[in-house]
Amino acid sequence: MTEIGLSLGVSPREDVQRFVTLARHAERLGVGHLWVIDSQMAMKDAYVALAVGAWETERVRLGTGVTNLQTRNVTVLANTFATLASMAPGRVLLGLGAGDSAVFPLGLRPSRIAELRTGIRQLRALLRGEETTLPGGAARMPFVPEQPPPIYLSASQPRMLQLAGAEADGVIVMGVADRDLIAAQIAHVARGAEQAGRDPAEVAVDVWVTVSVGDDASSAVDDVRSWASAKARWMSTWADLPPSLEAHRPEMEAAARAYDFGTHLSVRADHAHAVGDELATALAVAGDPVTCARRLADIAQLRPAQLTVALLSGGREQRLETLMAEIAPAIRAAAPDPVSP
């Protein structure tokens, strides 16, 4: 059965204790995993939230969604995740990406493919207690957890997806709510695994989608507009867009020009208005419960191991309850036996 999870950040306006309360509630409702955003200029610290969450929950898996190698040195990451994994054995996930909102505001560049490949290998070695080579010479962790956390690579375009298939334990498919695009992305993961001599089934696929459920369709679309503007900004640089989205390229480029990383993913962001209704609903799932359940069930038929919903701010407890009561049953019915990829 496809495991349902959440992606969320700890807002600058909320206490970390509220995250803990939400994590406990999610666990009670059957949520399988929580990804916490690591974006130091937009959110409170992910690792503080993960540490407290690890102590205060019992079953739900916890991870970074996602961290990076530009603001976090590989040895620091290895130590942090080894510590977290010692606190919550078998419940920690290491979500890694090239770098986006944590990187661009600092004038840094995202990691390149080769750097990520090296970083994944170094992290895996360090977390297993093996020696690895760093710029300063050979290095080994002073301690290792009994169960090293699996490494998930966030990816959206072919080369990154294939890298995930070749090197990672899992892949976070950072696409949009377009079933055909997601299917093509999963195929790239499988191709990367096969080219590396791996069984594609070894790579856990986690598909991320943003959802707003409400009887007022207009309000639901407004709800996802800020998130859609973030995706539009990011996709504006893609050389190849799906045919269904190519016509929106000028709108995506306008969203990129208007984007303010200081209000990254905030529902109050001015740049949200750069994205119209048609593009917003192409990138995210928004509408009444029946519409949202149908679209997510369609995606779940691709049978990913995990399906993660970005939990938007504002009434998160009610959003969570609606998701698990009205949408989750359709997801589970559509994918009783997940296959990754």
User: What is the rounded average pLDDT of the residues 179-190?
Assistant: 96
**Rounded Cα distance, 35 and 23, in Å:** 11
Same domain (yes/no): 173, 263 = no
Can you give the CATH number for the domain in which 196 is found? 3.20.20.30
In a domain, 340, yes or no: no
Same domain (yes/no): 200, 219 = no
Domain tally, the chain? 2
pLDDT at 27 over 90: yes
In a domain, 294, yes or no: no
In a domain, 341, yes or no: no
What pLDDT is stored for residue 341 in this prediction? 53
Same domain (yes/no): 138, 255 = no
Reference 205, options 247, 164, 248; nearest CA is: 164
- Domain that includes residue 250, residue range: 215-287
pLDDT digit string (tens) for 114-161?
A: 999 999 999 999 999 999 999 999 999 999 999 999 999 999 999 999
**Rounded Cα distance, 204 and 112, in Å:** 22
Residues 13 and 265: beta-carbon distance below 8 Å: no
pLDDT digit string (tens) for 233-250?
A: 889 989 888 888 999 999
Same domain (yes/no): 184, 75 = yes
What pLDDT is stored for residue 242 in this prediction? 86
Helix, strand, coil shares, percent, the chain, to 5 = 50, 15, 35
Same domain (yes/no): 129, 262 = no
What pLDDT is stored for residue 100 in this prediction? 81
